[in-house]
Amino acid sequence: MIINKSKRTWVEISEKNLVANFNTLSKISGSGTKKMSVVKSNAYGHDIVECAKILEKAGSDFLAVDSFEEALLLRENKIKKPILVFGYTHKDDFEKASQENISLTISNIQSLKDAVKIDSKIKIHIKADTGLHRQGFLEDEIDQVKDILLKNKNITPEGLYTHLAGAESNKFKKYTEKQISNFNKWIDGLSEINSSIITHCAASAASLVYPESRFGMVRFGISLYGLWPSEEIKESVPDINLKPVLKWNAILSEFKKVKKGEPVGYNCSEKLSRDSVIGIVPVGYWHGYPRHASKKSFVLINGERAKVLGKVSMDMIIVDLTKIKNPKQNDTVTLVGKNKNEEVTAEELADHCDTINYEIVTRINPGIERVLK
């Protein structure tokens, strides 16, 4: 479903920057390490199908998604590379996964028992909980996992992996090192099951600052899209240049003069401190522009900043055009990205909303058209 054929709002995706980021990250991880590109959750808001096609062509060894449905969508769009589903997959889909060559995460005893009952071999990646305490087998389950796999020779795990809880911050350095150490126990414990098993631990943050976490494969996520896992990671690797892939634009649909003291927006939430020119931009929280940005964030018009006034509505925001020279109906308004020499980053918008850049881009409505540039 595309909700904006009339181009009231659209997202531009830079294929050049996506490939450049993949190449930069690949060089860091080394030639002997497999590369997994994470395109889950609509490729962090960037368009799962188009990004998968670009990354497959760029040389990614694996693609990763959250759900079985996302994996099927990629297969339906002729994506041939190996695909790993990170999230839970119902046992009723195991047979289909085998037929479509889709690898599944197995992270609990019941799912493992269900998997070994399948007649046709399915590819699985064992997920170890080394300290995040989300998905995954606990350390005291190593022997039980090993025993189930040894008794059922029809299934050999393709991969073994874990996820780190705080690799993006140096204050969790000791905990991260402990998790890596715990993961090595899993590698030792399952070594006789499959000596060539693909081991992976590092997502974007760890792949950049913990070389010992790279193992057999690294998982490029947020960094692929030119966004940093944290400011701390960015400062830790000053020689690495990542380029934002996404730019979110809309149009200026109308503007008018309103006198000082007049209220603006729902609940009369802001009063104008001067005679003002206000503009309407036809995007709101339905489109993914966060309501928490009300009265705090900025958009860009003609290379200048325009403050958001009043409450963000479901389908519109009001912006202050008083200092914008010669605004015109249908002028391009940039919500995230560069406009001439000015820029509003996903990080800046996230700061206004007390959240993270991941949430800003991922929550851009998937119905908004993505345009490759």
Catalytic residue ranges: 40, 266
Q: How many CB atoms lie within 10 A of CB 248?
A: 26
DSSP strands (E only) in 224-331 = 246-251, 254-258, 263-264, 270-271, 276-281, 298-301, 304-309, 317-320
Reduced to 3 states (helix: H, G, I; strand: E, B; else coil), residue 165 is coil
Q: Terminus-to-terminus CA distance in the chain, angstroms?
A: 21
Whole-number Cα distances in Å, 193 to 118, 149, 188, 202: 18, 7, 10, 22
Measured CA to CA, the distance from residue 230 to residue 222 in angstroms comes to: 10
The kind and range of the H/E element at 116 are none
Do residues 299 and 283 make contact, with C-beta atoms less than 8 angstroms apart? no
Measured CA to CA, the distance from residue 105 to residue 84 in angstroms comes to: 7
- CA-based angle 175:179:182, to the nearest 5? 135
- CA-based angle 32:38:41, to the nearest 5? 175
| Structure token digits, residue 147 | 């025993």
The kind and range of the H/E element at 97 are helix 94-99
Report phi then psi at 216, rounded to 5.
-85, -15
Q: Report which residue type is found at 251.
A: I
Q: Identify the DSSP state of 369.
A: P
Burial of 268 (0-12, 13-18, 19+ CB in 10 A): exposed
Whole-number Cα distances in Å, 54 to 11, 76, 248, 259: 17, 16, 20, 50
